């Protein structure tokens, strides 16, 4: 229960969503953990995990009940679902319910914002860069898909063409077309024509990416050879080591700046201290989902949106990228300071709501004239009036 309670606390603290409008829920379908099954003090459902049709029926009953009780405009956020379930649920309910998966969509939106901001330092458009991911689960494929969507929107090119600029490496090596038969369905769009490449270093040398993104959950996988390789053919390589916690980060800030000779544009999923290299202080940005989901949730709620559309995720990314100032860029930051999070959330909410109105998905009428001001007026503050 700590997960949904904590997540909703952030919706309130960072995005100003009223606590009385939040309901934390855990769906318990059992456990396969022998220790818990045999623990007399275990308070969860003491049975093996339900899968297949029974699982699908249970989820369907839950989704129908939520809509029946709370109506069309209740936002259901999926959190910490296993890969295969997460993608299936998003595909199944995305067209009938107001659903959002932070692990897939929130992560993708915050990373895209960092990339859009990083281009102001590095130059070029999204489509002019080549992307290589280490990790092809929910986060990796979710980020890749949103980058391809934004690329497609900017260049008016079919999304299939845009996907060809993005390569993914999983535990078996580079995802290529010869592996298509054995791939999980969410990896298949990323299987491009290329010979088999067995590891990350060889993939970096073969693909020659300008952007390296880690979502593998495995620490120290961006080795010195990998960082030096990408730095050898890029003046300013963009390196995002996104895995949490700090011990699982693909490389540390100090390693990234040292091995790239201070040239990398670097951000992480975990907090790292500033690094001094050759007399210059580099401040690593943190690609934290908490930049996006609270403001996104507020934007959805205040506009009375009835569905989440991918364009609303792109709108959230744009709004976050616009909050990065020249002063931030001068320090090498590609995210704004977290101390401004309420202001950032208001801008994200306004942009998300604006896109919902444009798409005809917003039900709150009339549309407020100034959406940023309206977002700020909707934000809950834990301040009590003094009646004395």
Q: Which two tokens stand for residue 355?
A: 């896109």
Does the pTM surpass 0.85? The reply is: yes
Res 294: pLDDT: 98
Res 366: pLDDT: 96
337 neighbors 347 (Cβ within 8 angstroms): no
Element (H, E) at 229: helix 224-232
Q: Which of 349, 288, 324 is nearest to 139 (CA)?
A: 288
Domain boundaries, the chain: 1-104, 105-286
Give the class (CATH, top level) of 105-286: alpha beta
Q: Which two tokens stand for residue 154?
A: 């900017």
* Dihedral (CA of 91, 92, 98, 100) sign: negative
CA distances in angstroms from 386 to 69, 241, 383, listed in the order given: 36, 47, 9
* Chain centre distance of CA 39: 36
Name the binding residues for a divalent metal cation: 79-80, 103
Q: Which of 111, 27, 106 is nearest to 297 (CA)?
A: 106
Q: Is residue 134 packed enough to be buried (19+ CB in 10 Å), middle (13-18) or exposed (0-12)?
A: buried
Res 388: pLDDT: 79
Distance (Å, whole) CA 180 – CA 182: 6
Distance (Å, whole) CA 267 – CA 194: 29
> Average pLDDT per run of 10 along the chain, which is 388 residues long?
95 96 96 96 95 96 97 95 91 96 96 97 97 95 97 96 98 96 94 96 98 96 98 97 94 97 95 94 94 98 97 98 95 93 98 98 97 97 84
The second-level CATH assignment, the architecture, of 1-104 is 3-Layer(aba) Sandwich (3.40)
- At a CB cut-off of 8 Å and minimum separation 6, what does 170 contact? 135, 136, 187
CA distances in angstroms from 293 to 62, 79, 213, 296, listed in the order given: 23, 12, 21, 5
First and final C-alpha spacing in the chain: 39
The phi-psi region of residue 307 (left if phi > 0; otherwise alpha if psi is between -120 and 50; otherwise beta) is beta
Q: Is residue 68 packed enough to be buried (19+ CB in 10 Å), middle (13-18) or exposed (0-12)?
A: exposed
Q: Which two tokens stand for residue 115?
A: 């990339």
Name the binding residues: 79-80, 103, 244, 288
Task: Let me know if the fold of 1-104 is the same as that of 105-286.
Answer: yes
Three-state DSSP at 197 gives coil
Helix intervals (H) in 136-192: 138-155, 159-163
Res 84: pLDDT: 87
Name the binding residues for (S)-malate: 244, 288
């Amino acid at each position: 229960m700590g997960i949904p309670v904590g997540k909703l606390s952030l919706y309130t603290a960072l995005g100003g969503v009223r606590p009385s409008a939040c309901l934390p829920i855990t769906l318990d379908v059992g456990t396969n953990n022998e220790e818990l099954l045999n623990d007399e003090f275990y308070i969860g459902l003491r049975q093996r995990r339900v899968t297949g049709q029974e699982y699908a029926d249970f989820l369907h009953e839950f989704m129908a009940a939520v809509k029946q009780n709370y109506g069309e405009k209740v936002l259901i956020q999926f959190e910490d679902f296993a890969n295969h379930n997460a993608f299936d649920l998003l595909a199944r309910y995305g067209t009938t319910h107001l659903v959002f998966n932070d692990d897939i969509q929130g992560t993708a939106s915050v990373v895209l914002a960092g990339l859009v901001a990083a281009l102001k330092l590095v130059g070029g458009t999204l489509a002019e860069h080549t992307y290589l991911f280490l990790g092809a689960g929910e986060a990796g494929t979710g980020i890749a898909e949103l980058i391809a969507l934004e690329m497609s929107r900017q260049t008016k090119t079919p999304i299939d063409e845009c996907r060809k600029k993005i390569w993914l490496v999983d535990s078996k090596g580079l995802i290529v077309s010869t592996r298509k038969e054995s791939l999980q369905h969410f990896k298949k769009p990323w299987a491009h024509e290329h010979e088999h490449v067995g590891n990350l270093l060889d993939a970096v040398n073969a693909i020659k990416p300008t952007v390296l993104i880690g979502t593998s959950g495995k620490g120290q996988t961006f080795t010195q050879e990998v960082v030096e390789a990408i730095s050898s053919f890029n003046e300013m390589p963009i390196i995002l080591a996104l895995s949490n916690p700090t011990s699982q980060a693909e490389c540390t800030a100090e390693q990234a700046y040292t091995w790239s000779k201070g040239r990398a544009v670097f951000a992480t999923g975990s907090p790292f201290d500033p690094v001094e290299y050759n007399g210059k202080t580099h401040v690593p940005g943190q690609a934290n989902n908490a930049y996006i989901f609270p403001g996104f949730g507020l934007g959805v709620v205040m506009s009375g949106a009835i569905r989440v559309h991918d364009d609303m995720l792109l709108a959230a990314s744009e709004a976050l990228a616009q909050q990065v100032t020249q002063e931030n860029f001068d320090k090498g930051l590609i995210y704004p300071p977290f101390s401004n999070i309420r202001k950032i959330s208001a801008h994200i909410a306004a942009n998300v709501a604006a896109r919902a109105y444009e798409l005809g998905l917003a039900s709150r009428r009339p549309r407020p004239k100034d959406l940023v001001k309206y977002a700020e007026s909707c934000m809950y503050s834990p301040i009590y009036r003094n009646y004395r």
